[in-house]
Chain A
Amino acid sequence: MPSEKELQISPIVQESVVHNSRTLYNLQTLAASLFGVSAGILGLESYSGFVFYLVFSLLTTVLFYALRVAPASLASGKPALDTSRYFRGSYEFWAGGLMNGLAGFILTWTLFYGLVRA
């Protein structure tokens, strides 16, 4: 954790942090709904559906890191898999997507499962 003085020398702009996490949140919720659609069409049931969701939402986060965060973050000398250049907590970045998208995933999963396997 940087000290107060370091924060004052290179301040963190609150608006940018909010914008970054909002962008991530939008991506995660939308992607989760689309995963629900595909899980429903594939006809996955119980555990395999949840595993599908887990794998694909982690994959989304990894892709997001590799494509959007990593180029600038690695160039500025941060170690790999470190998101502190753009996001506050690494937990929020890596695991937050699972919680954010779950409701949307279940909704579309149920809908398309019902439509396809009726």
Chain B
Amino acid sequence: MAQVPVQTIHRDPQLFYWILFPITIVMILTGVLRHYATVLMASAPKKQDRKTLREQRALLHGINVRSNYHVLSKSSFSARRDALITAYETGSYLKDPDNRGQPPPNPMSDPSAMEGMMGMMKNQMAMIIPNTLIMSWINAFFSGYVIMKLPFPLTIKFKSMLQAGVATRDMDPRWMSSISWYFLCIFGLQSVFNFLLGSENAANQMAQQMTQMGPQGAGQMFGPGVDPNKQFLAEAENLAVIEHYSVLDGVEQRLLEGIKV
């Protein structure tokens, strides 16, 4: 079988200086810029009035008692449980006790809820706008150049992705155009950002999307449209069904077993 000769393409070395380095540097700087834009645009936590805060803390108190009951002695746990359940059921921690039993207000009409959505919108924008700009910038200036050769072979399927803008039928798919270098940068620059900005940076949109998929904890709990009275009642029920034991139960036995020779 005839060996297919290795394609060589003579490229101007100036391509590196005028295409490869600009794209890489722009990608890195955009990541840095995005990180600092996210830091600057992060709205400071809103000051809440005393009643709202009391409502939230009371619920958290209940949850903490429920998940850490094993470090309390029996008497102190039941004292806490009785106090919390009574308070929850009478609704004495509620922000406005007169509204009990009424349906929660429409989240769209609540101004504080709108602010949260604005924050999400801002984050989305900070991701989308730079990407669109850089894509169109690369397309406008650098489309149609073949700049590099991948060090590993690929199947023909990758040709349309890697050689976008270079309509040559017989070229090896290992050759890549400037737009594919851009995609490679998007995926691979996370380590550079980790190195430059510390590991909790917001530079890479891929990592951000990962975290958005993750569990949404405390933010959702006090969100708009959630009836605090119902949460209190549910929490009271959770507390009521706990069968208490302490980690100190039988600790003498365990200690003696531990020091037995």
Contacts and interface: CB of A to CB of B under 8 A. Distances in A.
Interface of A: 5, 8-9, 22, 25-26, 29-30, 32-33, 39-40, 44-47, 49-50, 101, 103-111, 113-115, 117-118
Given A22-B199, A25-B199, A110-B184, A33 B151 contact: no
Contacts of A114: 16, 20, 147-149
A26 B194 contact: yes
Main secondary structure of the interface of A (DSSP, over half): helix
Contacts of B11: 118
Given A8-B247, A22-B199, A118-B11, A29 B191 contact: yes
Given A46-B151, A49-B151, A118-B16, A107 B184 contact: yes
A22 B190 CA distance: 13
Contacts of A5: 247
Contacts of A47: 152
A105 B195 CA distance: 14
A104 B199 contact: no
A7 to B, nearest CB: 10
B190 A29 contact: yes
A37 B153 CA distance: 19
Interface in B125-150: 147-150
A110 B150 contact: yes
A101 B151 contact: no
B191 A30 contact: yes
B173 to A, nearest CB: 13
B192 interface: yes
Contact of B191 (A22, A40, A46, A104): A104
B199 A113 contact: no
A117 B190 CA distance: 25
B70 interface: yes
Contacts of A29: 190-191, 194
A80 B37 CA distance: 46
Contact of A46 (B13, B152, B176, B247): B152
A93 to B, nearest CB: 18
Given A29-B190, A29-B194, A108-B188, A40 B151 contact: yes
Contact of B185 (A9, A105, A107): A107
Contact of B152 (A22, A45, A108): A45
Contacts of B158: none
A6 to B, nearest CB: 10
Nearest to A32: B191
Nearest to B153: A46
- Of all A-B residue pairs in the complex, the 9 with the closest CB atoms, nearest first, are A107-B188, A29-B191, A114-B148, A104-B191, A113-B151, A46-B152, A103-B188, A103-B187, A33-B191
B188 A45 contact: no
Nearest to B200: A22
Nearest to A115: B16
